[in-house]
Amino acid sequence: MRLRIPIWLAVLLVAALPAAAQDLEGHGGPVRALAADAQGRVISGSFDTRSIVWDGATARQIMRYHEGAVTAVLPLAQGRTATGGQDGRVAIWGLSPEPLYAAVLHPLPVGALAPFAGGLASAGWEGRIALWDGGAPPRYIDAHEGQITGLVAFQGGLASVGADLRLRLWNAQGTLVSQLDLVEPAAALATDDTALLLASASGTLRRIGPDGTTLREVAISTRPLLSVAQVEGRIAVGSIDGTVWLLDPLTLEPQAMIQTGQGPVWALAFAQGALLTGGNDGMIRRWTLEGKPLGTGGDTTDPTLVSPRGAQVFRACSVCHTLTPEDGARAGPTLHGIFGRPVASAQGYPYSEALGALDIVWTAQTVSELFELGPDAYTPGSRMPEQRIPSAADRRALITFLETATR
């Protein structure tokens, strides 16, 4: 017997279902930085030079300022945001498309940002910490010899860790109060303001007390750890192979393991009761605190894992071409959907007359021939710069990469 449900009841039942949670899609390159504030506002920074403030799964504000990857993001009071970049610049944003304040604070990339004394602190790869409020010139701390690999606000001051194998604590005036010598470099640093977490390239995670005592040390993986996040007793650690572990806050024992499928997980954050992961696929994926996907999870394939050599060969192409429709054209058109597409047919790009007159459909064979013979011979009269890939193996690797990345 068929059960019939009244239309009014069906509407109520559908309305009562929770809305499908989504991953955050908007970056055109690996996600390098993630942060969230107490209100659940999420901020991301990417190798694509953009930072984004997210409203749920919607990109509410897209910020473009840095000449290079956005390597650090930080939520500030009154809805403001700070970003730091590979270009050594730090910017403070309101809701306008231009930064409220911006300055070159470091001669080398900015590795981390942290709140400090009503303003912010930025860690430079040259080893200095800049203390800045967007107004007066910054004050600098000569913090480490070489790259600073982690910086967090900690118990009214700051904690920093560097490639010089030192963990240092700074008070509210920016004065050094204690130091701990480490046995190996820390690749990432996090805190919930009661203790510090140091993730290392050896795969080891250490929990350090305010007095410098090692409270716990656990070998999480045999692969390098790249990221760590700790908020109110919740801990997540990300690895170079795309694995993320959710850990017990006291014992550091793994409670769940996630295979993100994102390649290296550069960034982690907790927001609105979920874990966010940022990796090489340019996506920000959302997971429950038990490790279950809230969006598409690991269903997509990271093209850099499918063909690492192809991704390396593509670097020369990325000067002129993007891989996603959202990023559009550069000097050349986007390559999104290129396979099976007639030459000079991507909408919105002003092709040369010479290229438009050719009868070519882009396939694995024709793309390979283009780079075997070179544009001067294969597409004569076009504006494509002359570039050949003599190695047949490299051409095959590039095509394997593009078949995944342009899908």
Mean pLDDT of the chain: 87
In this prediction, residues 372-395 reach a mean pLDDT of 88
Phi, psi of 392 (to 5 degrees): -65, -35
Between CA 399 and CA 310 the distance in angstroms is: 7
For the record, the structure tokens of 239 come out as 């690895």
In angstroms, how far is CA 191 from the centroid of its own chain? 20
Domains within the chain, CATH numbers bracketed: 24-299 (2.130.10.10), 305-405 (1.10.760.10)
Cα of 240 vs its chain's centroid, Å = 13
Q: Is the pLDDT confidence value at 5 over 50?
A: no
Q: Which of 123, 173, 132 is nearest to 150 (CA)?
A: 123
End-to-end CA distance of the chain: 45
Residue 8: the pLDDT is 36
For the cut 80, the answer to whether the pLDDT of residue 264 exceeds it is yes
How much is the pTM? 0.70
Question: Binning pLDDT at 50, 70 and 90, where does residue 2 land?
Answer: very low
- Take residue 244 and report the two structure tokens written for it: 């993320």
Gyration radius of the chain's alpha carbons:
24
d(CA 401, CA 308): 8
> Quick one: average pLDDT of 104-120?
96
